[in-house]
Structure 1
Amino acid sequence: MEIENQAAHAIVQPPMRKAKFAIGQVVKHRVYPFRGVIFDVDPVFANTEDWLASIPEEVRPRRDQPFYHLLAENAQTTYVAYVSEQNLLPDDTGKPVSHPQVPQFFKELKRGHYVSRDRALH
């Protein structure tokens, strides 16, 4: 009986999807003119509700997909971006990303993919 009660109160988690893109991969946004290198991945949405609500509803991404942290660049500047998997495409230009933090995360660019720098975890 106790096991049945535990099962009845279990939290149902959405199934985890495998990330399509990898850390060190250079990607571009499907709609907006920016590109970047992935330095972290969240298996599902892990930003603030305010951030999500700031995106117009007609283009707001689903929560149940990987979200990627990018060292991003556009024609004017560099910045950190948080992008849903549905809005990314591979960037096959082979060009390096000019973000100033790239050397903190990566050693070099090899065949269009950055090699991660060994870093101590906190």
Structure 2
Amino acid sequence: MTETESKARVAKFHIGQVVKHRIFPFRGVIFDIDPVFNNTEEWWLSIPAEVRPRKDQPFYHLYAENAETEYVAYVSEQNLLADTSPEPIRHPQVREMFVRIEGGAYRPRDLRVN
């Protein structure tokens, strides 16, 4: 086990949960979780140093949206909050991958092929 892996924490959020960014005006549904940073160094360095997240925390892949568009986002745990809005997520891939459940969260669709 590497030093980074030993520092990895249990994820605070889960797949299918609706979250919002702590600073920027977007929200989304989590579709994958990395226990620690797993993107390029170039991507990480492109974030301004004053808001650059630590690498030793979970990072979340989101089907995200803002007022103008839908996209895929990669966000550190420290920059996410649970979203309690009753509004469904409009990102088209959410309907392909998830079913909305009571409380506004989503569960993965049964994607098994017979």
TM-score, normalised to structure 2, is: 0.91
The Cα of 1:119 is off from its aligned counterpart by 2.7
Distance 2:76 2:2 in 1: 24
SS of alignment partner, residue 88 of structure 2: coil
Q: Paired residue for 1:26, among 9, 18, 24?
A: 18
Asked if 1:69 corresponds to 2:61, the answer is yes
Distance 2:47 2:110 in 1: 35
The Cα of 1:118 is off from its aligned counterpart by 1.9
Distance 2:36 2:30 in 1: 15
Alignment correspondent of 2:47? 55
The Cα of 1:108 is off from its aligned counterpart by 2.2
Alignment correspondent of 2:96? 104
Asked whether the 8 Å contact 1:44–1:64 carries over to 2, the reply is yes
Distance 2:100 2:73 in 1: 21
Asked if 1:113 corresponds to 2:77, the answer is no
Name the CA shift for 1:91/1:119 in 2 (closer, same or farther; >3 Å): same
Alignment correspondent of 1:82? 74
Distance 1:119 1:58 in 2: 41
Q: Can you list the C-alpha shifts for 1:18-67, whole angstroms capped at 9, x where unaligned?
A: 00001000000000000000000000000111100100011000000000
**Count of residue pairs brought into register by the alignment:** 112
Larger Rg: 1
The Cα of 1:94 is off from its aligned counterpart by 1.9
Cα RMSD after superposing both structures: 1.6
- Structure 1 residue runs without a partner (length 5+): 1-9
- Structure 2 residue runs without a partner (length 5+): none
The Cα of 1:109 is off from its aligned counterpart by 3.4
TM-score, normalised to structure 1, is: 0.85
